[in-house]
Amino acid sequence: HFSFLLNAAKLYATVYCIPFTEEDLSADTLLNILSEVKIQEFRPSNKVVQTDETARKPDHVPVSSEDERNAVFQLEKAISSSEATTSDLQMAVLSFEKDDDRNGHIDFITAASNLRAKMYSIEPADRLKTKRIAGRIIPAIATSTAAVTGLVALEMIKVAGDYPFEAYKNCFFNLAIPIIVFTEASEVRKTEIRNGISFTIWDRWIIHGKEEFTLLDFINAVKEKYGIEPTMVVQGVKMLYVPVMPGHAKRLKLTMHKLVKPSTEKKYVDLTVSFAPDTDGDEDLPGPPVRYYFSHDTD
């Protein structure tokens, strides 16, 4: 409980940009504060959990409690008054970092998860186990890690030295047996589009645009640079241009900025393109991902 309160307070203070010292988070300071806190007696809720999905739900919306209304009123009053300055209303985004023991992230997760585990009679986990789970750390024996590191370093030397393809090797090993087997690397699979144009899983086509670059300009740029004209352009799950869709022909005159709606700091977007088949009725031909830069001065 103490660890939960300590680290929750630390995280909240960091989010709301409230400065604190080590003395503020000391056991003596927190115990003095907690000794003055009056906790209301727990009273089980009389609310009945409705498990019948066919049961009619009540039409009325429950009114928020008096405490909630007072909290909202006090917040509105503080914001509208001259007492609240811009610096007082600053907030910071917390990014999970498992390797910094001073930020309280792992300590908070450990305390919170163990409190929940205790409620359901689940065996608690210590800090190291929590760190491994939350950080998605894959356990590995040091000798195996050292062997993999050495083998990767050898292949990197071949890349840096521009060695021929035949010099590269795959390796399968088991130090417990022990056995080490080297095999020749196979060439990457190529996907044929048409007219000798192909791509691999490692390929990415690059198109540089500008502020007034339209969707039609993008399609023409791909055709001019790579020799094939896209017939469909997709951004994630969003269809930017599909010829058979009603109204999509009008999108050809829209700028890429308007279609993609990038954030101010975003310099590029990865798009999925496909190409018309040789025969009507066949499926569209796939293509590599196309990275579109919103200006010429970015790479």
Does 10 share its domain with 129?
yes
Confidence grade of residue 134 (pLDDT, cut at 50, 70, 90): confident
**Of 92, 117, 134, which residue constitutes the final position of a domain?**
134
Residue 46 counted as domain residue: no
| Residue 81 shares a structural domain with residue 115 | yes
Predicted pLDDT of residue 57? 67
* 265: Cβ contacts below 8 Å, ≥ 6 apart: none
Number of other residues whose CB lies within 10 A of the CB of residue 111: 22
pLDDT of residue 83: 64
Whether 222 and 276 share a structural domain: yes
Overall pTM > 0.75? no
Q: For residue 216, what is the domain's CATH number?
A: 3.10.290.60
Residue 103 falls within a domain, yes or no?
Answer: yes
Question: What per-residue confidence (pLDDT) applies to 55?
Answer: 67
Q: In this model, does residue 91 exceed pLDDT 80?
A: yes
Per-residue confidence (pLDDT) for residue 252, from 0 to 100: 93
Note down the domain range covering 72: 2-37+66-134
Same domain, 149 and 232: no
Question: Using alpha carbons only, what angle is made at residue 260 by residues 254 and 262, rounded to the nearest 5 degrees?
Answer: 125
Q: For 217-265, write each residue's pLDDT tens digit.
A: 999 999 999 988 898 999 988 999 998 888 888 999 999 999 998 887 8
pLDDT score recorded for residue 73: 85
Q: Specify whether 179 is located in the same domain as 160.
A: yes
What percentage of the chain carries pLDDT values higher than 70? 91
Return d(Cα 263, Cα 269) in angstroms, integer.
10
**If you count them, how many residues does the chain have?**
299
Helix (H) and strand (E) counts for the chain?
Answer: 8, 10
Q: Determine, yes or no, domain membership for 45.
A: no
Q: Is 51 a residue whose pLDDT tops 80?
A: no
Q: What percent of the chain has pLDDT over 90?
A: 48
Q: What is the CATH number of the domain that holds 21?
A: 1.10.10.2660
Report the SS3 class of residue 252: helix
Residue 58 falls within a domain, yes or no? Answer: no
**Range in 85-89, 116-120, 146-150 the model is least confident about:** 85-89
Q: Which pLDDT does position 76 carry in this prediction? A: 82
206 and 170, same structural domain?
Answer: no
pLDDT over 90 (residue 162): yes
Is residue 124 located within the same domain as residue 13?
A: yes
Q: Is residue 267 part of a domain?
A: yes
Residue 265 lies in a domain: yes
**Angle 27-35/2-15 helices, nearest 10 degrees?**
100
Same domain for 179 and 241? no
Do 6 and 121 fall within a single domain?
yes
- pLDDT for 122 equals 94
Question: What domain count does the chain have?
Answer: 3
pLDDT surpasses 60 at 210: yes
